[in-house]
Amino acid sequence: MSLITWLKSIFSHRGKALSQYRSGMIKAKKQDYAGAIADYSAAIESPQIPADVKAMAMYNRALAYSALEEDAKAAEDLAAVSAMPGLPENIKTAAQQRRERMRRRDEKADDT
């Protein structure tokens, strides 16, 4: 594979994943959480997706799951983001904090 072909494949995969991610963001903003989850999932499953795009898609998919009260799935995504190697610590910390807020909310709901 030539260098140019390799570079094109990287940018096309990233571009497609980013497009799916952005589509998910638009749907989430319109409160179409199921549609957003589908788009985020498609981005996550894209071949050779860059780690930063995958982390963004997983984090936002977790938020969409949480909006649909599918907290187990949301927690799973947040744990995966927290465990991803090579991500900046602020992203991992944000995922851990969101997961902790969900846990406290669930405990509060159980108490009532």
The pLDDT tens digits for 61-75 are 999 999 999 999 999
pLDDT at res. 9: 52
* pLDDT < 50 stretches in the chain: 6
* Residue 40 near residue 64, CB atoms below 8 Å: yes
| In CATH, 3-111 is 1.25.40.10 | yes
pLDDT of 22: 92
> H helices of 1-112, where?
3-29, 33-45, 51-67, 71-83, 89-111
Amino acid at 24: G
CB atoms near residue 98 (< 10 Å): 20
Instruction: Please provide the average confidence, as pLDDT, over all residues in the chain.
Output: 86
Reported pTM: 0.82
